[in-house]
Structure 1
Amino acid sequence: MGDYEKDTAFLGQKGPFFVIIFLLLNAIYISTGFHSFYIVFAGASPSYHCHVRDGNLSEEWLKASIPIEEVNGKLEPSKCWRYNLDTIRQFASKGYSSVDVNLTDVGKERCTEGWKYSTEMYHSTIVSEWDLVCESEWRVPFASSTLYMGYLLGSLISGQLSDRFGRKKVLFASLALESLIIFVQSFSQSWLVFCILYFFVGAFQVSLYITAFVLGTEILSTSLRVLFTTLGAFLHYCVGYMLLPWIAFAIRDWRTLLRVLSGLTLVYIPLWWFIPESPRWLISQGRLEEAEAIIKDAAKKNKVKPPDIIFKESEAKVAPSLMKKYNMIDVVKTSDMRCTTFMCLLLWMAINIGYFGLSLNTSNLIGNPFLNCFLSAVTEVPAYIVATLLLKSCPRRPLLSAFLSIGGGFLLLIQLIPESLHTLALALEMAGKFGFTMSFSVVYIYTAEVYPTVLRNLGMGMCSSAARIGSITAPYIIFLGSFSKYLPYILMGSLTIGSSLANMFLPETFGKVLPETVEQMQKCKGCHRRDVTMMEEDRKQVVLKEQKL
């Protein structure tokens, strides 16, 4: 295949064709913001207590039947225990008042008659519908993590599917199937069915995200491609994320919420006729006539005249040093490689635990959960803009360490804030989210610059898997808050600070030429010993191939 950029240079950089594709692909990313965090509201836990059938008990005895327990330094009615009702009814039938009886001598029992849930904030959630409290409380973070388990599957297979069937088909198939599964999920009759369907929502959602990203990078002009990959996709994702709490505020029932979010996706169906297939992919499949038809249509929209023959049958000459086939073992083959890969995996995991942990925690914060979620989403907008501007002129390594220190440092400070200053605690959490979001932006570019071309896809793939493990872990980190309010912040903050220190061992990539081969890859600063024998053997193989050619 010839030089695609040169072959299509006559189209220009910012014609109507490119602008329309840019806007339409970004519009699709709004749906990913809708669908990424609806579990925050569908899986929210409203206020609840043991259900006690009155059995002719007075209001005084009904209130006294619930033990008082200390939770995070506060005395609150127990959510999982009640005093033995048979004993209480005996005291009540004899005319005793609750103050006349030492209730601590009365045996406790589980909430065998279920729970009563407050409908002040939520009319219905999966927690209140399926009693996911007390012994079943672990099922809520598990339900959240199934989405990210689906992310792991989707990130592994989406690339292979789009390489085989085409970007456009996989993009719209993922969009349609995600919407359909969310609609079916709204009819779930059990927690298990909800989790299974949520797994596939995650698989198709990440497939949609990755495929749209690839399609945009392959079809857009150079100038718009940079804008699309840095700000376009991220900011439009934030738009959907910001709109979600307002939709959830208007719809307090989780089943109706899911049906509305699923229905909103229908507006994307007409885009099938406006978004073309990737000409680059068509050329790679030998379908030159279809690729030329798309480029000629683009030329018509951009009001330029295309040449009679745009693409010629040719093969690119591959450098001998790039002919060797690489696999996952090569990413950890030498001491430098292992050091670099380990540091990158740690960074991606820590950032994803912090980012998704804080995003899922908004319903647990003091104050209005809908407003908290909106603030969490709004925080990301300036974070992406600031990160993008700084990346143009600042070294990657200190920049990423600074962002990680901001994110983790503010989380560690939260435990020092008095209970009465909950607004300040919320501000610190949002500042932490700001740091994690900026780190999210930098780590993508930084990792791609660290690995050489021959290992870049493999390295990014391993880091993406580590990110998925981090996001799967995040709901359980937040779940630990039910035992200690500050434990999630301490864990996330400590892990992030540690990863910021580990980041300093990675090489600086700012202003450096992207490495093409393993030999050109920079050394990891913490590992000076290299596997010289292995590297020399690789070099000899390259020389032999060059001599044969």
Structure 2
Amino acid sequence: MKDYDETISFLGQWGRFQQIVFFLLCASIMPNGFGALSVVFLTAVPSHHCLVPEVNLTQDWRNAIIPREFDLVCGDQWKQPFTTTIFYLGFLAGSFFSGQLSDRFGRKPVLFITMALQTIFTFSEMFSPSWTVFSILIFFNGLGHNSNYVSGFVLGAEILTGKVRVLFSTMGVCLGFAIGYMLLPLFAYFLKDWKSLLLGVSLSGLLYIPFWWFIPESLRWLLSQGRVEEAEAIVRKAAKMNKVEAPQVIFEDYSAYADETKTDPKNHHNIFDLLRTRNIRNMTLILCLVWVTINAGYYGLSLNTSRLHADPYISCFLSAAVEVPAYVSSWLSLRYLPRRLSVICTMLMAGMSLYFIQLVPQSLSELAVALEMLGKYSLTTGIALMYAYTAELYPTVLRNTATGTCTTVSRVGTCVVPFVLLLGDYFRYMPYIILGSLSVVSAFATLFLPESFGRPLPQTIQEMQRRQRMRCPFITRKENSKSTVLFESQL
């Protein structure tokens, strides 16, 4: 089969068509930035006293010492981290289902359905009569957040090609998230009431309705499903937008593949294909470990912003601003350096910076903040690298399922991290020790992943198998060859 990038090379890499897809998909990620971490302010601990003396108090005093909202303090303080965990459990469930739905029904419909879930349930949270109802709604809100990010990321990675694809996978989609994250403290500062903050976050989702008519379906996905005519129609429209002439027949080499896909039910792949052979299974497990570590560290340091500075708005902005140079670094790394080396270096840097925090005396609190921000910088860089690295390792028929599965498993770390941070109340440095240790272990595990730098995206599982070179001590070349033959015979 002719290479996809070569087939559509007549379009160029940065015409009007690519520019529209690039910027609209980046913009669609912005609500994730101020939505995914809005729990920093929604579950913030208000000023209060747990024991009110039995004296006559004015109403002003009562308002000052008794918290509003759902009274998630004192005996009910455990509900605050648990609320955050429920939100991220929604992330976990959404990642699991959206990846498979996207590979089955298309990237575009899943992208817009998950964006709608964010908007509808964020708005619904305003009318919660109790903490229980709020928790249910925030779970369904979480279903859409990470799913929207993954679907948008894979859609852009499959439409764009060459250097533009690398730029989108790092600087583009990630900066979209960072900009949204930096807007969060601005929203929270002017909309201090939690209901007003939810209203502001939800109304922004309405701005993305017109995007449906400008963002196309993934060409790679359409071809993998045998829908060649639809893919050609999109390419011809793109050729007109870019003012270039399209060949009379664009995807001629895909005709046989299309017929096979339509007639052979075995070409419908699912999550079990990630575990079917030994080498793919080991690669998936290693990637899941790295994803768990990176997300636990990233969200742990993001949720810990209230301890960085006396002003929570400044703390949140600092935590968001450090992501900008991190994404620039990830873009440069993906463009010039091997993927495996880049991930290992970022994980080691994160682990060392978190270890060194416990060596800083309390009189040098600024140095401790700098080390924590270095850890946040490293983990943020790692997240951007892992999205691109994971997408490059798996073929089109499994790419969104694989990315969704890895991000699903990673949410286990995200769900646990609010309670890991609570360990800091008993031993200040325990969260840093746990997160730092995971980073070092993940750096070592990354040594056994295959390299994807400079290679085109695989279209089929067979292509991935042929180019895969697992450097694991528990996988020999003979075993790798046998598993490849076995898997291909099953197809």
- Smaller-chain TM-score bracket: 0.7 to 0.9
Which residue of the partner structure matches residue 314 of structure 1? 255
Name the amino acid aligned to 2:48. Y
Distance 2:34 2:302 in 1: 13
Name the amino acid aligned to 1:145. T
Distance 1:504 1:133 in 2: 45
Contact preservation (8 Å) 1:2, 1:315: no
Distance 1:148 1:475 in 2: 10
Shift of 1:371: 0.8
Q: Find the residue that maps to 1:439 and give its secondary structure.
A: helix
Contact preservation (8 Å) 1:18, 1:221: no
- Could you report, residue by residue, the CA deviation over 1:176-201 in whole angstroms, capped at 9, with x for unpaired residues? 23111101112212112111111111
Contact preservation (8 Å) 1:2, 1:316: no
Matched, 1:24 2:24: yes
| 2:307 counterpart (355, 358, 364) | 364
Distance 1:55 1:228 in 2: 62
Bigger drift between 301-310 and 360-369 goes to 301-310
Distance 1:469 1:9 in 2: 41
Contact preservation (8 Å) 1:506, 1:524: yes
Contact preservation (8 Å) 1:396, 1:509: yes
Distance 1:270 1:453 in 2: 27
Q: Tell me, which stretches of 5 or more residues in structure 1 are unaligned?
A: 60-114
Could you tell me the TM-score, scaled by structure 2's length?
0.84
Bigger drift between 454-463 and 11-20 goes to 454-463
Name the amino acid aligned to 1:213. F
Which residue of the partner structure matches residue 41 of structure 1? 41
Where in structure 2 are the equivalents of 1:421-460 lying within 5 Å?
421-447=364-390, 460=403
Name the amino acid aligned to 2:235. I
Q: How many residues align?
A: 479
The alpha-carbon distance between structure 1 residues 262 and 314, as it changes in their structure 2 partners (threshold 3 A), is same
Where in structure 2 are the equivalents of 1:41-60 lying within 5 Å?
41-55=41-55
Which residue of the partner structure matches residue 355 of structure 2? 412
| 1:346 counterpart (266, 289, 295) | 289
Kindly indicate whether structure 1 or structure 2 has the higher relative contact order, using CA contacts under 8 Å at least 6 residues apart: 2
Where in structure 2 are the equivalents of 1:110-509 lying within 5 Å?
128-281=68-221, 291-307=231-247, 310=250, 314-316=255-257, 328=272, 331=275, 333-334=277-278, 340-447=283-390, 460-506=403-449
Q: Find the residue that maps to 2:434 and give its secondary structure.
A: helix
Matched, 1:539 2:482: no
Which residue of the partner structure matches residue 468 of structure 2? 521
The alpha-carbon distance between structure 1 residues 430 and 517, as it changes in their structure 2 partners (threshold 3 A), is closer
Q: Find the residue that maps to 2:127 and give its secondary structure.
A: coil
The alpha-carbon distance between structure 1 residues 545 and 381, as it changes in their structure 2 partners (threshold 3 A), is closer
The alpha-carbon distance between structure 1 residues 174 and 470, as it changes in their structure 2 partners (threshold 3 A), is same
Q: Find the residue that maps to 1:443 and give its secondary structure.
A: helix
Bigger drift between 308-317 and 148-157 goes to 308-317
The alpha-carbon distance between structure 1 residues 219 and 338, as it changes in their structure 2 partners (threshold 3 A), is closer
Bigger drift between 250-259 and 279-288 goes to 279-288
The alpha-carbon distance between structure 1 residues 266 and 518, as it changes in their structure 2 partners (threshold 3 A), is closer
Contact preservation (8 Å) 2:163, 2:335: no
The alpha-carbon distance between structure 1 residues 8 and 436, as it changes in their structure 2 partners (threshold 3 A), is closer
Distance 2:486 2:211 in 1: 52
Shift of 1:325: 7.6
Shift of 1:221: 4.7
Q: Percent identity?
A: 45
Contact preservation (8 Å) 1:29, 1:233: yes
Contact preservation (8 Å) 2:100, 2:401: no
The alpha-carbon distance between structure 1 residues 406 and 327, as it changes in their structure 2 partners (threshold 3 A), is closer
Distance 1:443 1:165 in 2: 25
Name the amino acid aligned to 2:74. C
Shift of 1:161: 3.3
Q: Find the residue that maps to 1:50 and give its secondary structure.
A: coil
Distance 1:392 1:366 in 2: 35
The alpha-carbon distance between structure 1 residues 414 and 193, as it changes in their structure 2 partners (threshold 3 A), is same
Shift of 1:531: 8.0
Distance 2:15 2:470 in 1: 43
Larger Rg: 1
The alpha-carbon distance between structure 1 residues 306 and 203, as it changes in their structure 2 partners (threshold 3 A), is same
Shift of 1:478: 1.5
Name the amino acid aligned to 1:34. F
Distance 1:539 1:396 in 2: 27
Distance 1:52 1:324 in 2: 63
- Could you report, residue by residue, the CA deviation over 1:25-58 in whole angstroms, capped at 9, with x for unpaired residues? 111111111211100011111232124254369x
Could you tell me the TM-score, scaled by structure 1's length?
0.76
- Could you report, residue by residue, the CA deviation over 1:234-270 in whole angstroms, capped at 9, with x for unpaired residues? 1111110111111111111111101011112222223
Q: Tell me, which stretches of 5 or more residues in structure 2 are unaligned?
A: none
Distance 2:93 2:334 in 1: 31
The alpha-carbon distance between structure 1 residues 462 and 168, as it changes in their structure 2 partners (threshold 3 A), is closer
- Could you report, residue by residue, the CA deviation over 1:51-101 in whole angstroms, capped at 9, with x for unpaired residues? 4254369x9xxxxxxxxxxxxxxxxxxxxxxxxxxxxxxxxxxxxxxxxxx
Shift of 1:158: 1.8
Q: Find the residue that maps to 2:302 and give its secondary structure.
A: helix
Name the amino acid aligned to 1:47. S
The alpha-carbon distance between structure 1 residues 509 and 314, as it changes in their structure 2 partners (threshold 3 A), is closer
Shift of 1:517: 5.0
The alpha-carbon distance between structure 1 residues 3 and 405, as it changes in their structure 2 partners (threshold 3 A), is closer
Contact preservation (8 Å) 1:34, 1:243: yes
Distance 1:4 1:516 in 2: 13
The alpha-carbon distance between structure 1 residues 400 and 169, as it changes in their structure 2 partners (threshold 3 A), is closer
Contact preservation (8 Å) 1:170, 1:208: yes
Bigger drift between 164-173 and 471-480 goes to 164-173
Distance 1:332 1:380 in 2: 37
Distance 2:239 2:390 in 1: 36
Distance 1:520 1:390 in 2: 22
The alpha-carbon distance between structure 1 residues 406 and 183, as it changes in their structure 2 partners (threshold 3 A), is same
Distance 1:224 1:394 in 2: 16
The alpha-carbon distance between structure 1 residues 162 and 332, as it changes in their structure 2 partners (threshold 3 A), is closer
